[in-house]
Amino acid sequence: MKGYVYYSEAESVRNHAFIDDLMVESEKLGIELRLLTGDGRPDSDTDFILFRDRDTGRAAKFEMEGSRLFNRAEVNRIANDKLQTFELATLLGIPAVPTNRIRSIDEISAYPCVLKTVDGHGGNEVFLCKSAADAELFFTNFHDRKLIVQPFIESGARDIRVFMIGNEVIGAVKRTGNGSFKSNYTLGGSVEKYILSNWQENVVKTISQAIKSDYVGIDFILLPDGRWLLNEIEDPVGARSLYITHEFSVAGELMKYIKGTLSRE
């Protein structure tokens, strides 16, 4: 079996440790895995591409040319559009952070609020606005981007990220922000292992089944009363917090899943 893991040039450098682990685990399974970056093209006899980028157009092109992608371009499209994610949650009846497209600060009905680019990630391009002046600054910085507005929801800067391979939960972490309303681990927040309840597992499996994902992270804001609200779906999802809190190779589980899936197709 032969495949590629695709990254942009910059992200291949930042994620070298995970790429190395993918290579090691692939070799154990008899899979020939190579790194593909930038404008590189896969060989014609490739069995799959593990797509680790946010370029939906490139993913769709790979698929049109006959490549089997993990995740599919459609998963990438939904996960990298926060408005699409909210619309999916609404369709599935899953409580989510209210999200609306915004084109002018005149459309903001109350402060504080949270403004985001629709396709930002990693806690970047997210701004807590306490006044119209804050909102004006955000609009100035991102005037050429598609923007959304959400109400500010007090959560103690806590959220839950659930990692899914196929329709199975492989782990979950609770993230807590450090001096910020953002809980992202890469922005200095803390992280700990989190055990889902049965109803929480049912929620995330409903989402993964609906989008037919292979490997995603699903983020929920954790409310003080124990409820949660869907916030984002991450594709590609980084696994640093999972490696820190769990004692298994995420790369190993992912490559086993890919091999098993292809053997059944």
CATH number, domain containing residue 163 = 3.30.470.20
What are the structure tokens assigned to 111, written together?
Answer: 């402060």
Same domain for 220 and 170? yes
Residues 35, 38: Cα–Cα separation, whole Å: 10
Same domain for 244 and 177? yes
In a domain, 215, yes or no: yes
Task: Please list the alpha-helical segments (H only) found in 33-129.
Answer: 56-64, 73-79, 82-92
Give me the domain span that covers residue 125: 100-151
Same domain for 160 and 185? yes
Residues 47, 52: Cα–Cα separation, whole Å: 16
Could you tell me the end-to-end alpha-carbon distance of the chain, in angstroms, rounded to an integer?
13
In a domain, 41, yes or no: yes
Residue 19: predicted pLDDT: 98
Same domain for 180 and 232? yes
Are the C-beta atoms of residues 138 and 129 closer than 8 Å to each other? yes
Residue 103: predicted pLDDT: 95
Same domain for 84 and 163? yes
> Is the per-residue pLDDT at 96 higher than 70?
yes
Phi then psi for 96, rounded to 5 degrees? Answer: -140, 160
DSSP H or E stretch at residue 129: strand 126-129
Beta bridge partners of 77: none
Task: Please list the alpha-helical segments (H only) found in the chain.
Answer: 9-14, 16-28, 56-64, 73-79, 82-92, 132-141, 198-211, 240-245, 250-264
In a domain, 264, yes or no: no
Residue 118, domain CATH: 3.30.1490.20
Burial class (CB in 10 A: 0-12, 13-18, 19+), 227: exposed
In a domain, 114, yes or no: yes
Which residues have C-beta within 8 Å of that of residue 157, sequence separation ≥ 6? 176, 177, 180, 181, 182, 183, 189
Same domain for 194 and 239? yes
Residue 156: predicted pLDDT: 83
Are the C-beta atoms of residues 184 and 175 closer than 8 Å to each other? yes
> How many domains does the structure of the chain reveal?
3
Same domain for 89 and 145? no
HSE on the CB side for 182, CA within 13 Å? 17
In a domain, 263, yes or no: no
Query: For residue 115, which of 133, 132, 141, 135 has the smallest C-alpha distance?
Result: 135
Q: What is the pLDDT of residues 214-265, one digit of tens each?
A: 999 999 999 988 899 999 999 999 999 999 999 999 999 999 999 999 999 8
Same domain for 37 and 146? no
Residues 69, 91: Cα–Cα separation, whole Å: 25
Query: For residue 42, which of 69, 3, 76, 13 has the smallest C-alpha distance?
Result: 3
In a domain, 234, yes or no: yes
> Is the per-residue pLDDT at 186 higher than 60?
no
Same domain for 85 and 195? yes
Same domain for 64 and 114? no
In a domain, 59, yes or no: yes
Same domain for 37 and 160? no
In a domain, 34, yes or no: yes
The fraction of the chain above a pLDDT of 90, given in percent, is 88
Residue 49, domain CATH: 3.40.50
Are the C-beta atoms of residues 262 and 47 closer than 8 Å to each other? yes
Q: Which domain-ending residue is among 128, 151, 174?
A: 151
Same domain for 174 and 250? yes
Q: How confident is the model at residue 188 (pLDDT cuts 50, 70, 90)?
A: low
> Is the per-residue pLDDT at 179 higher than 60?
no
